[in-house]
Chains A and B, each alone.
Chain A
Amino acid sequence: MLRRILVLTFFVMVLVSPSVGTYAQEFPTKEVQIIIPYAPGGATDLIFRALAASAEKYLGKPIIIVNRAGGGGTIGYTEGAKAKPDGYTLTAAITPLTILPHQVTTAFTYKDFEPIINVVLDPCMFLVRTDCQWKTLKEFVDYARKHPGMITVGNSGAGGGVHLAALAFEKAIGAKFNHIPFAGGGPSITALLGGHIHAVSVSPPEGIVHVQAGKLKIMALFGERRLEMFPNVPTVKEQGIDFTMSQWRGLAAPKGTPAEIIKKLHDAFKKGMDDPAFRKSAKDMAINIYYMGSADFGKVMAHDHEFYGKLVREIKK
């Protein structure tokens, strides 16, 4: 009996001897996780992977990407909102964060997050095949108005940002599309390439590579400005339709994260954004870098939450 106690004590001591974690150290003391509420290979995923690569060296610790796809983002945001506000679990926050709570009962709203920094602002757009029957936006819109429910428009998920963009657009032009949901941007573009749907609602970098290759073309661009990569494509606003829709993508931390940690994260990621390697990746992906600091980002989130609340209610009518 005594022997057993001694042996057990010995084991316990051996296990306890490595140093216990110290408190109140310089942030960060270990790797930081970014939860991406979307599938790997999607737009958000790609952008933040590129950013993580550049920002790591400024943060001083590895940045790990964790994908938690599902529910148009619900799953990832729920987890991100519940995480410990110690700065080690961040969430990639994109526009649907302010849309989802109006569509389904969610366990979160933008108020459960502390905005850190906004990285990109990508316009939504409709892509079609270059060999499709509509040569101009006018033809497309006229056809849509005359044949409600006939033009099939794919999206990356029911209730997602681009789906809503399509719904808002059809309201703006007084038409009705046939919306077909897919499990992500990739499958929706594949379906377009194969000719199974007429158009797809996406935002860069989804589909860019095919526009460059000449297989797809931008039918409608919902941004405020033209895309740098395709300067000959006018926005719908330029063509007389007063409609814009863009998606912001930024980083947020759970509410309650201390301000000094937010500032440290903000600075590291800002440097990552300015890093030439990230700038090049962004250019290749045709995404639009659009920095916003924590305060401004927070204001945009609040504004969009109201905006989309109204939009969703109108659409549901």
Chain B
Amino acid sequence: MKKETTGGILFLVIGLITVILSSRMHLGDFRMAGTGLFPFCLGMVLIGLSLPIVFRGLFGERKEGEAEIDAQHKGHKKNVFAFLLFTSVSVLLFNSVGFAIFSFLILFSLMWLLGFRDWVRNGILSLLVATGAYMVFVKLLKIPLPKGIIGL
């Protein structure tokens, strides 16, 4: 039930933040709605909807078999963190190194992370795909993509 409560609390918090932030804006009334009125109402509704979820989470009963399904789905969360980290680094470099190098970088690093440890073959594949992507998107379709330090 930790799952249900967590979900409920998450939305409760979002609702509260929305209400607080929008009450600082000009609210007006329904006839002449101000900027903050609509988000304010939405936030209140969100709070109202998340309360039952939180209650259900704290006091409700567990459905059968949920425990097993949860256990089955438990996986390597640190893989996810690493995956996001590598992706973020590549994206941070997106504008500075240009599209071509970015493609190579992101493919190489993510494939390596997911188990493709053979540097040479990984590298060759990344290079091929990056080149292919560059050809199709930049040259063929003429889509504006960042040019990096090597001018591609």
Instruction: Report A's interface with B, CB cutoff 8 A.
Output: 4, 7-8, 11, 14-16, 18-21, 31, 33, 62, 64
A8 to B119, CA, bound (A): 9
B residues within 8 A CB of A18?
Answer: 150-152
**Interface pair B150/A16, CB less than 8 Å apart:** yes
A residues within 8 A CB of B69?
Answer: none
Instruction: Report B's interface with A, CB cutoff 8 A.
Output: 100-101, 104, 119-120, 123, 127, 142, 144, 147, 150-152
**Interface pair A20/B144, CB less than 8 Å apart:** no
**Interface pair A15/B123, CB less than 8 Å apart:** no
| Known A18-B152, A21-B151, A62-B142; further 7 A-B contacts with Cβ < 8 A | A4-B119, A7-B119, A15-B100, A15-B150, A15-B152, A19-B151, A20-B151
A19 to B152, CA, bound (A): 9
- By beta carbon, the residue of chain A nearest B100 is A15
B105 to chain A, nearest CB (A): 11
**Interface pair A15/B104, CB less than 8 Å apart:** yes
A residues within 8 A CB of B123?
Answer: 7-8, 11
A35 to chain B, nearest CB (A): 12
- By beta carbon, the residue of chain A nearest B127 is A11
**Interface pair A20/B127, CB less than 8 Å apart:** no
Taking a contact as CB atoms closer than 8 A, the residue among A4, A14, A33 that contacts B127 in the complex is A14
**Interface pair A21/B127, CB less than 8 Å apart:** no
B residues within 8 A CB of A11?
Answer: 123, 127
Q: Which of A15, A21, A33, A64 has the most CB of B within 10 A?
A: A15
Q: 10 closest A-B pairs (Cβ-Cβ)?
A: A21-B151, A20-B151, A16-B150, A7-B120, A4-B119, A11-B123, A20-B150, A15-B150, A18-B152, A11-B127
**Interface pair A21/B120, CB less than 8 Å apart:** no
A31 to B120, CA, bound (A): 37
A62 to B144, CA, bound (A): 12
A149 to chain B, nearest CB (A): 12
A4 to B119, CA, bound (A): 8
A131 to B100, CA, bound (A): 60
